[in-house]
Amino acid sequence: MSSPAYPEDIKTDRPDSPYVSPSLANSPEVPHAQLQLSQRPPVDYSSFSAFTSSLWRRFVSIWTKRFILSLLAGQVVSLCITCTNVTTTELVNRNWALPTTQTFFLYFSLFVIYTPYTIYQYGFVGWLKMIYKDGWKYIILAACDVEGNFLVVKAYQYTTLLSCMLLDAWAIPVCLLFGWIYMRPKYHWTQLLGVVICVGGLGMLVASDEITDKDWPALSRAKGDVFMLVGASLYGFTNATEEFFVRRSPLYEVVGQLGMWGVLINGIQAAGLEHHAMTTASWNGTTIGLLVAYTAAMFILYTVAPILYRMASSAYYNLSLLSSDFYGLLFGLFLFHYSVYWLYFPAFAVVLLGLIIYFWHATPEEQGKLDPRAPEYVNQRNGNSTRIVGQV
């Protein structure tokens, strides 16, 4: 069997409770799991020349291999989000509006790729034990992810584009809150400044859309805004929770379980809410091709996102998504003949600046312990591997 992504995760003992941080000091067999913390060069205020020199040293220290890969991975997932928005718009224009059915193919692809590999690593009996003992937490994760996707798509049908873009950013403080609850990172004020700068870039993008009249009238603004707030809250919760899981468990276990339970929950919901619309929707080669493109983009996103959680954090992932509107403009230039408004380009630069400022003082390694372990009751096939995906 060819291995999908994440074959390198290791097997060591893992505490039964998912809320107890493992002790790395007593794990000599996995020295690579120790956090390699690095200090930023201090800023020297003794003179102007010393100040500028120390600022330059601090700036250079940010550009580590881990940070560069995190920045690139963030733009990959942002581009994937843009692809899903474009394909969804094209599907709706072709009389195909089944949001729950649309995401079913995503969860099914995650299930058929990552679950067999989990069974290969753990053995069928070990996989069943994992479901019996830890399945409940993955059910909660999958349910929140499915409903978050559903509510956000429904929100676009009721409220305005301006409200959707602004309220979707609510996922950022929710993610920061739950990330702090799970992993207790010490947020520095420069990280909060980076968040504010990124949201400022989002505000410039929203202003651009408003000026160029890309908004639409609201059918029921109150209902749509509530849908978007709840959906964004679920997004923030699932991102932080998945980060907590993938920092402690093999990636293929977490993503495979998300896909398996997502298929069940999503399938039941689609059968209950969209069974009639399935028969009236337009099924042809074009819609099937758009569904394949949507599923491929989402599959890449759901594969890269947990790696980004390990390299940086789920909060950094959410901040990276704020640049997706800029990529949407690039798609719109060719597909929908949008006009270019000058404010898009400085807005994109402001978002990237915020992503750099976020790690001006803190380092990616300080965002949480990275110690993935297969369950202690599992005899993992590649138990002697010393590599961890996301450990850069």
Question: According to the 3-state scheme, what is the secondary structure of 12-42?
Answer: CCCCCCCCCCCCCCCCCCCHHHCCCCCCCCC
Residue 213: DSSP 8-state: T
Buried b (16+ CB within 10 A) or exposed e, 77-87: bbbbbbbbbbb
What is d(CA 241, CA 208) in angstroms, rounded to the nearest whole number? 33
What is d(CA 276, CA 147) in angstroms, rounded to the nearest whole number? 20
Q: Which residue has the tokens 């996707």?
A: 149
**Contact present, 232 and 167 (Cβ < 8 Å):** yes
**Contact present, 74 and 364 (Cβ < 8 Å):** no
Tens of pLDDT, residue by residue, the chain (392 residues): 444 444 444 444 444 434 344 333 333 344 444 444 567 899 889 899 999 999 999 999 999 999 999 999 999 999 999 898 888 878 877 888 888 998 999 999 999 999 999 999 999 999 999 999 999 999 999 999 999 988 888 887 787 766 777 778 899 999 999 999 999 888 899 999 999 999 999 888 878 777 776 656 667 768 888 888 999 999 999 999 999 999 999 999 999 999 999 999 999 999 998 888 888 888 899 999 999 999 999 999 999 999 999 999 999 999 999 988 788 777 777 776 667 778 888 989 999 999 999 999 988 988 888 888 888 888 877 764 556 666 65
What is d(CA 234, CA 241) in angstroms, rounded to the nearest whole number? 10
What is d(CA 276, CA 270) in angstroms, rounded to the nearest whole number? 10
**Contact present, 379 and 125 (Cβ < 8 Å):** no
pTM: 0.85
